[in-house]
Amino acid sequence: MAYQFEPIAVVRSCFSEKFAIPRQPSLAPAASGVIELLPPYDQPEAVAGLEGVSHLWLLFVFHAAPSGPTHLRVRPPRLGGNQRIGVFASRSTHRPNPIGQSVVKLDGIEPGRLRISSIDLLDGTPILDIKPYVPYADSLPMASNSLADAAPILLAVDWAPAALQQARDQADRLCQPVVEVIEQCLAQDPKPAYQQPGTERRYGVRFWDLNVCWHYPQPDRICVLSIEQIL
Ligand code: SAM
C-alpha cells in the first residue's frame, strides 16, 4: 500500500546549503525563516487559533537528502561518523521515507505566511504538515536518550575585525541577525568530527546570499575570516 502526500507549504530560510545547519532546531535560536503556505492553505482560516501558540511541529521532506537505497544501519555524524546504529535510532536524513520533524518557534502570523525561528531547515524545504506544540503532552522531563544525551559542546567563535564589520553591514542590508546566526551555527562545529584541520585550512558556507569563510586557529576555536555577498 502506498500513500501520496502533497506539500502544504515551503520554507524560506537563512540556510542556503546543508553544511553548517544545526543538527536540531533549538541549537541556533537566531536562525529564522518563513513558511510560505500554498493554496488553499494560505487563507486565514487555516491558521486561525495559532495566535495562542508559541511553537510548532513541522513535518517536512528531506528534499535534498541523497537518493538511493536506505540502509538499516547509519553512521550519525554526532557519534564521530564511525559508530553504526539502527536507522530508527537516528535522526539521519537518509531514511526509508525522507520525512523530518522539527519543533520551531512561531514568531509571527502574516497573510499566507508564518515567521519562524530556531530552525534547522534548508531553504526550499517542502512542508507536509504543521501542528501546534502541546507542552503537557510533548515535553517529557523524564525522557532519556543515551546516544544523544546533551547538546553538542560549543566552540568559541572569534572574528577577524574586518569580517565582523562585513557581517554588521550585511545585517543592515538583509535586516537579519547575521552575526548571531553565524556565531550560533559555527559554534556547533560544522566540520566532520573526524577532521583535524590545520590552521591554514579554510572552510566556507552560504547563509542567505553570503559566503562565510572561517578557519580553526586552535582545535576548539573558530575565527571568522570574511563575509562576502554572492553577486
Ligand atoms: N529535526 C529534524 C529531525 O529530527 O527529523 C532534522 C534533523 S537532521 C539530523 C538535521 C539536518 O538535516 C541539518 O543539519 C541539515 O543538514 C539537514 N537538512 C535540513 N533540511 C534538509 C532538507 N530539506 N533536505 C535534506 N537535508 C536537510
Residue 194, pLDDT > 90, answer no
**What's the CATH superfamily of 9-138?**
YaeB-like (2.40.30.70)
- State the average pLDDT for the chain: 96
Between 181 and 77, the more confident residue is: 181
Which is the closest atom of ligand 1 to the Cα of 122?
A: 20
Q: Give the residue, by CA position, lying nearest to ligand 1 atom 12.
A: 93
Element of type H or E holding 117:
strand 113-117
**Sign of the CA dihedral with 149 first, then 95, 182, and 192 last:** positive
Per-residue pLDDT tens for 200-230? 999 999 999 999 999 999 999 999 999 999 9
- Give the position of cell 541556533: 28
Say yes or no: CB of residue 101 within 6 Å of ligand 1.
Answer: yes
Going from N- to C-terminal start, the domains of the chain cover 9-138, 156-229
CATH topology of domain 156-229: YaeB-like fold (3.30.2310)
Cell 539521519 identifies what position? 92
Ligand 1 neighbour 13 (Cβ under 6 A): no
Mean pLDDT of 145-162: 94
Q: Give the pairing of strands 73-74 and 55-61.
A: unpaired
Q: Is the CB of 31 under 6 A from ligand 1?
A: no
The percentage of residues in the chain with a pLDDT greater than 90, rounded to a whole number, is 88
Question: Which residue has better confidence, 152 or 165?
Answer: 165
Mutate to test the pocket of ligand 1, among 62, 63, 92 (most ligand atoms within 8 A of CB): 62
The protein residue with its alpha carbon nearest to ligand 1, atom 27, reads 62
pLDDT of residue 192: 85
User: Do 9-138 and 156-229 fold alike per CATH?
Assistant: no
User: Which residues is 106 bridged to in the sheet?
Assistant: 116
Predicted TM-score (pTM) of this structure = 0.96
Q: Find the radius of gyration of the CA atoms of the chain.
A: 19
Residue 121 pLDDT > 80: yes
